[in-house]
Chains A and B, each alone.
Chain A
Amino acid sequence: MKRILDLILAFREYVALATYVAVSLVLIGISQSTDVQPLRAFTTGVVGVLQSSLAWIPNPITLSRENSELRQHAIELASEVGRLRRAKVENDELRRMLGLGARPEWKLLPVEVVGKTTNFERNMLTLSRGEDDGVLKGMAVVTDAGLVGRVFSVSPHFALVEMLFNRDFRAAAKVGRTRVEGIVAWDGGPTLVMRNVPKALDVQVGDLIVTSEYSTFFPADVPIGTVIRIEPEPNSLFRKVTLEPTVNLFRVEHAYVVLKDIQLERERLALEQKAKDDAAKQPLKK
């Protein structure tokens, strides 16, 4: 026993390294597990409180540029609102004529960004509202310009949002003009990438990419980005479409959480689960 102990002491650096590496690997393995959610919720609360106490500190480099951009944006939005009002009246009229009924309205919760981490390793926002205000993990976060991200962790008074520039971000999306579907993810740079877009289908530079009805987390038709480049993927039937996000993710100060109707959501999930179960039970046709 003493010899083993002496041996461990003699090689303690290596024994410690092996132990620490093993523990780290276990932690990496359970990183996405629901078991660590209580810990995430606790740290979201602690970091949220600390960040909200620092939220008053402005970033002087970006303030002036942001002001002029906002003025320009306000002018553009004013003209767009007029056009959209006319389009909405027309759209409602056409839907009524076709018997489609009204689209469900989103419930939006206005939130303030109290903390922001925008380096390329970790792009997160801390919001001023949490579980007590009805915010739940997985809810979408948007601004007037489009999609910002989704709620990653919540504490009673704060919520942590994973922005689009995040390794885990994926969204079912479509080209607004032609309804061509694909998957949008972050490519590690200041742009996003839409994959699984067949070469034969119509996508052009300048097209607006919006969230698809197939998205589990995001409501449909929220702008994600504008196509800036289209490249063929080598040895593949698909193209790689590069997007510039519609939201300036580094200057988000206020946003909205899209609140889900829990009752409706449960009903939808139960229905989808039932359909899956039924399909699994059916014997394969020869």
Chain B
Amino acid sequence: MNYLIYAGVGIVLVALQVLISRFLSIAGASPDFVLIFLVWITIREGQFVGETSGFALGLMLDIFSSGILGAHTLAKTVTCFLIGFFYDPDKVDQHIRNWPFLLLTLLAAVINNFLYYFLYTRASEISFVEFAFRYGAVGALYTVVFAILPLLYWSRRRAY
């Protein structure tokens, strides 16, 4: 049942990412709602579920965003795999309701953006280092700002 809910939320977030990013774009960077959700899933369910979700939602994002097919898929899969090393079944609650969630989101956003921009800038006139620092860093910080919202929500809910 949990997985069905995850799939539903994931689809809604992909739609939001594709449709409303123009309203939230600052200095060319947008928050990555899908990534925040993937970090949450990975912290809660572990590496395998995280990377599988990263693959599925990344693929959906690639298909509906008309970008380079496979770029989001690869970046999000690898990011969730790496974030999965911080999964600790005994500290799930502690990680989701406190500052480690923000820290892991920042780490995930940095990894994801750098991987994505590496694939994005190859075989083009764009300098990877300049592009990744200019937009990847801003985008990562912007994503962390939005990650505060679910953190506040979960920290006020009763422990499950």
Contact = CB atoms under 8 A, between A and B. Distances in A.
Pairing of A with B: yes
A188 to B, nearest CB: 3
Contacts of A186: 124-126
Given A188-B127, A188-B130, A21 B66 contact: no
A152 B52 CA distance: 30
A27 B55 CA distance: 12
B74 A21 contact: yes
B73 A23 contact: yes
Instruction: Give the interface centre of A13, A115, A187 by most chain B CB atoms within 10 Å.
Output: A13
Interface in A32-51: 36, 39-40, 43-44, 46-47, 50-51
B64 interface: yes
Contacts of A44: 66
Contacts of B55: 20, 23-24
Contact of A25 (B25, B51, B70): B70
Interface stretch (B2-10, B77-85, B97-105, B152-160): B77-85
Given A25-B74, A189-B130, 15 more contacts: A17-B78, A20-B51, A23-B70, A24-B55, A24-B74, A27-B59, A31-B71, A46-B64, A118-B22, A121-B135, A122-B66, A152-B66, A187-B126, A188-B131, A189-B134
Interface stretch (B13-21, B88-96, B143-151): B13-21
B43 interface: no
B108 to A, nearest CB: 15
A195 interface: yes
Interface in A106-128: 115-122, 124
Nearest to B24: A119
A122 B77 contact: no
Nearest to B26: A119
A262 interface: no
A222 interface: no
A27 B66 contact: no
A46 B64 CA distance: 8
27 contacts: A13-B51, A16-B48, A16-B52, A17-B51, A17-B81, A20-B51, A20-B55, A21-B74, A21-B78, A24-B77, A28-B70, A28-B119, A30-B69, A31-B71, A43-B64, A50-B19, A59-B23, A116-B22, A117-B21, A118-B28, A119-B22, A120-B28, A120-B135, A121-B116, A124-B66, A188-B131, A188-B134
Contact of A121 (B22, B47, B67, B77): B67
A193 interface: yes
B77 A167 contact: no
Interface string B34-70: 0000000000000110011011001100111111111
Nearest to A165: B28
A36 B69 contact: yes
A29 B20 CA distance: 29
A26 B69 CA distance: 9
A27 B73 contact: yes
Nearest to A160: B66
A12 B130 CA distance: 37
